[in-house]
Amino acid sequence: MIQDAPLSGVDLPVPLLVKMAREIEMVKLFKIECPQAANKLRALIAEGDDAIEGPFDGEEAITLLADLDAGATGSMTSGMIVDRIKPVIDHYLAGDTDAATDAYARVLPVINHENRQCGWRACKAAMKEGGVIASDTCRHPIEPLHPETRTRLISLLQAIDPLVLRWGR
């Protein structure tokens, strides 16, 4: 699995990713997290052909539909609402794009809030709320979520009733 996340400061151009897929036996899966990820996925799939076994969406699924349109076969989101994202992918891959779009519209406010306001702290907050973990404290220097940001997150989650809010209870 290669995670293409330019936030790391490392640029992984498509020709390099394809070369890795063809020359490194265990490299077959790619999580693409960059601006215009759909375009990069299209290029990766076109240039890599059979060497690309798992082109995946990333970044909490903020661009999931566009990435599926580009040929992504799955998504690697946070662990917060996987039970609500899975139907989007299942419907899409079954050819029911209307149902996929409807399912995505239901979860998009949560995805947007997680992606733009919380980052990975959202998953910890949701797991604490659902009794899965005792503390959502992050290691220094990561600050806790602002209480109002956390409150909004939990209210958005409650509206879609994900497993994470019931799992540990």
Q: Please give the pLDDT value at position 111.
A: 96
**pTM tops 0.85:** yes
The answer to whether 122 and 153 have CB atoms below 8 angstroms apart is: yes
Alpha carbon distances (Å) from 160 to 78, 85, 123, 148: 16, 11, 15, 19
Residue 28 is a catalytic residue: no
pLDDT of res. 8 = 80
Q: Which of 129, 159, 166 is nearest to 147 (CA)?
A: 129
Q: What pLDDT, on a 0 to 100 scale, did the predictor assign at position 58?
A: 87
Helix or strand holding residue 86 (H, E): helix 82-93
Max CA distance (Å), the chain: 49
Please report the pLDDT score of residue 169 as a whole number: 87
Catalytic residue, from 19, 28, 31, 40: name it: 31
CA distance 31 to 156: 26
d(CA 126, CA 141): 20
- Per-residue confidence (pLDDT) for residue 59, from 0 to 100: 85
Q: Give the pLDDT of the chain (169 residues) as one tens digit per residue.
A: 999 987 788 889 999 999 999 999 999 999 999 889 999 999 999 999 999 999 999 888 999 999 999 999 999 998 999 999 999 999 999 999 999 999 999 999 999 999 999 998 999 999 999 999 999 999 999 999 999 999 999 999 999 999 999 999 8
Distance of alpha carbon 128 from alpha carbon 116, whole angstroms: 20
Q: Which pLDDT belongs to residue 55? A: 97
3-state class of 54 per DSSP? Answer: strand
Q: Which of 41, 30, 95 is nearest to 66 (CA)?
A: 41
Q: Is the CB of residue 79 less than 8 Å from the CB of residue 49?
A: no
